[in-house]
Amino acid sequence: MSNNALIEVNLESLQHQIAKNFASQQASREKFKQVYLNTLAVYAVKNFLDWAEFETDLEAGDSWNSIIRRFNDVADLVIPDVGKLECRRVLPGETIISLPPEVTEDRIAYVLIGFNEHLNKVDLLGFVPSSDEQEMSEISRDSLQPIDDLIDYLQELEFQAFSEENTQTINSTTTSTQTNLSPIEKLKQWYSNLLETGWLDFQSNRELAFAVRGSASNDKMIKTEKIIDLGENQPVKLELKLTSQSTEETEATISVYPNGDSKILPTGLQVIILDEFGNTILEDVVKSGAKSIDFQIALEPNEHFSIKLILGDIIITENV
Amino acid sequence: MCDRDTKLYNILREIFSHTIGSIEAREPINKLLNLVPSLPGIRKKDPEIFNLALESLYRGLIGEISGYRIPNQDNPEIIRKQFVKFFNQIYRRRELDVRRGKNKTISLNEPSGRNQDSDSENTRLDNLADVTLSGLDALIEEEQLEKRKQQQEKMRIFMETELPNRLNQATNQNPQCTCYEIVKRHILQEPSQSLTKIAKEFNINYQTLYSHWQRTCKRELEKIGQEFERS
């Protein structure tokens, strides 16, 4: 369907400044222009989505990753929990827009942005939802859906994402109840997920069963750890012990120790345990000379939490 | 959290305890429509657009069009924030309808003649950039470009020698599938190989590979990029 309805979006000096900074890291004129215009294209869509009250996360995109944008032609914008939009630049006179292979995967839609001679404003020309059935290699301006409808499309996707998340929660709860997962099975699942996020594999390639220690009772425990860099040679070790006492509840012990040369934790280090909605459950501040700090919390099946470490300007959050 | 959050929460729960479109749901829906204007953060500057948005909300709740669905969430404040965001998105959509009329182009930044929600309008207009497409070449500094070419060569060597060690984090499904192997195929190779193909090649689940890439590899890559820029 052909669409002539445009939305004109202004671009601010600061956004141009960031585009120039990104572009200045490139080694050729062609790449300089590509990165400059890609950055503006992403900002144009972000400005529109801000106006329409959709949350976006610039830094989560490949286009904000200095190495990826150096090697790939990317202009993606992440909408948290929904997906990525690809914001493709359209130069004057272009009617067919080629898509490089690196942008044909994991996009929820392609938004075309028309550039004119003056770069203080651009036109949002329309969008094309991505298709699961076929990989797209080019977009014709004639195939665009009206840009106004992008709001409806994203709203629907937000709800779908929300429904899927709830369905998954319901399904996993149901499965857990139906199959009555043993404590060891639950911990194996959890452990496996933790390893995906950079926690150390304690059993060093041995069978997982070795990492899961049974006590005289039915309790099962696993232990894993992660080194956190707090800057200025102040690494700390975050240790996590998960003990499953029954099929209904798991106990987590979170400990922070010094790592490296120092035998004590950095004074003033703030450690906060947050629930899955970001509410503080427990918090403490390291006092002078402290060698460790510990917390214990009880968790329901499938309940997640976060550990936040704050030291001066450094804030690190680990999701568990 | 305020009383209105709890009131909204209870009304929404009541609406969704009935079948969508049923007579029983009408009464709580009317309560909701009366409550909406008083919710903190609700967009209502233009009465005409507000009424159109309210009508869209109503039509969605009675099942005439795709509409609001209550999240599986027990925190009234979170429910209110999510509801207000949803309503404001509808408001913006209806605003486009009203302003569109016969206008081919709508500017988000120019006064529409009917209302302006942006308080910082003038500031934003003052801060517009003055760069042209044909003037982009002038922004490229020759000296910098030469320096960058040398740096690009340094990076190429770094990629070949150092990166395999720095990006040795493997997925737990296949120890051969390290971040470096993914970066090599997905970023450095031309044309880029898709994550789907990489997952097949290493015989691992796509979601496992995708989350490993997003959570571990990309973060490390960004860290390396920043270190490289500083060097």
In terms of Cα–Cα distance, which of A42, A115, A118, A44 is closest to B131? A118
Is there a contact between A246 and A222 (Cβ–Cβ < 8 Å)?
no
Q: Does pLDDT of A214 surpass 50?
A: no
What confidence tier does A228 reach under pLDDT thresholds 50, 70, 90?
Answer: confident
Tell me what pLDDT residue A11 has: 95
Q: Does pLDDT of A264 surpass 70?
A: yes
Query: Taking CB atoms and an 8 Å cutoff, what residues of chain A touch B108?
Result: 7-10, 47-48, 51
User: Nearest CA to CA, how far is B58 from chain A (Å)?
Assistant: 16
Is there a contact between A23 and B145 (Cβ–Cβ < 8 Å)?
no
Tell me what pLDDT residue A312 has: 78
The closest CB to that of A101, out of B127, B175, B191, belongs to B191
Judged by a CB distance cut-off of 8 A, whether residue B51 touches chain A is no
Determine whether the interchain pair A277/B212 forms a contact, defined as Cβ–Cβ distance below 8 Å: no
Minimum Cα–Cα distance from B149: chain A residue: A27
Query: Taking CB atoms and an 8 Å cutoff, what residues of chain B touch A15?
Result: 129
Q: What are the tens digits of pLDDT across the range B139-191?
A: 887 777 888 888 888 887 887 788 888 999 998 889 999 999 999 999 988 88
- Window 161-220 of B, Cβ < 8 Å to A: 169, 171-172, 175, 186-188, 191-196, 208, 210-212, 215-216, 218
Mean pLDDT for B31-41 is 95
Average pLDDT of chain B? 85
Minimum Cα–Cα distance from A163: chain B residue: B71
Determine whether the interchain pair A192/B222 forms a contact, defined as Cβ–Cβ distance below 8 Å: no
Tell me what pLDDT residue A211 has: 41
Distance CA A224, CA A320 (A): 11
Specify which residues A6 forms β-bridges with.
Answer: B105
Determine whether the interchain pair B89/A53 forms a contact, defined as Cβ–Cβ distance below 8 Å: yes
Is there a contact between A99 and A135 (Cβ–Cβ < 8 Å)?
no
Instruction: Enumerate residues 6+ apart whose C-beta is below 8 A from A144.
Output: A1, A2, A3, A112, A125, A126, A127, A128
User: Nearest CA to CA, how far is B81 from chain A (Å)?
Assistant: 12
Judged by a CB distance cut-off of 8 A, whether residue B70 touches chain A is no
Q: How far is CA A99 from CA A154, A195, B213, in A?
A: 22, 34, 22
Tell me what pLDDT residue A301 has: 62
Minimum Cα–Cα distance from B196: chain A residue: A105
Distance CA B126, CA B106 (A): 20
In sign, the C-alpha dihedral spanning B49, B55, B58, B64 is: negative
Q: What are the tens digits of pLDDT across the range B75-87?
A: 899 999 999 999 9
Minimum Cα–Cα distance from A25: chain B residue: B148
Is there a contact between B127 and A14 (Cβ–Cβ < 8 Å)?
yes
Mean pLDDT for A263-286 is 82
Q: How far is CA B150 from CA A66, A76, B215, in A?
A: 17, 28, 31
Structure tokens at B222: 């960004």
Percent with pLDDT over 90 in chain A? 41
Q: Which phi and psi (to 5°) does residue A253 adopt?
A: -110, 120
Q: Does pLDDT of B36 surpass 70?
A: yes
Minimum Cα–Cα distance from B81: chain A residue: A53
Q: What are the tens digits of pLDDT across the range A79-125?
A: 998 999 999 999 999 999 999 989 988 899 999 999 999 999 999 99
Determine whether the interchain pair A106/B195 forms a contact, defined as Cβ–Cβ distance below 8 Å: yes
Q: What are the tens digits of pLDDT across the range B122-137?
A: 445 556 778 899 999 8
Tell me what pLDDT residue A315 has: 80
What pTM was estimated for this model as a whole? 0.69
**Coil, strand or helix at A221:** strand
Q: What are the tens digits of pLDDT across the range A293-317?
A: 888 887 766 667 888 888 877 788 8
The closest CB to that of B196, out of A36, A105, A201, belongs to A105
Tell me what pLDDT residue A297 has: 80
Query: Taking CB atoms and an 8 Å cutoff, what residues of chain B touch A66?
Result: 222, 225-226, 228-229
Distance CA B209, CA A209 (A): 24
Is there a contact between A197 and A319 (Cβ–Cβ < 8 Å)?
yes
Query: Taking CB atoms and an 8 Å cutoff, what residues of chain B touch A25?
Result: 148, 229
Query: Taking CB atoms and an 8 Å cutoff, what residues of chain A touch B132?
Result: 117-119
Taking every pair of Cα atoms in chain A, the longest distance, rounded to a whole number of angstroms, is 76
What confidence tier does A277 reach under pLDDT thresholds 50, 70, 90?
Answer: low
Tell me what pLDDT residue B112 has: 42
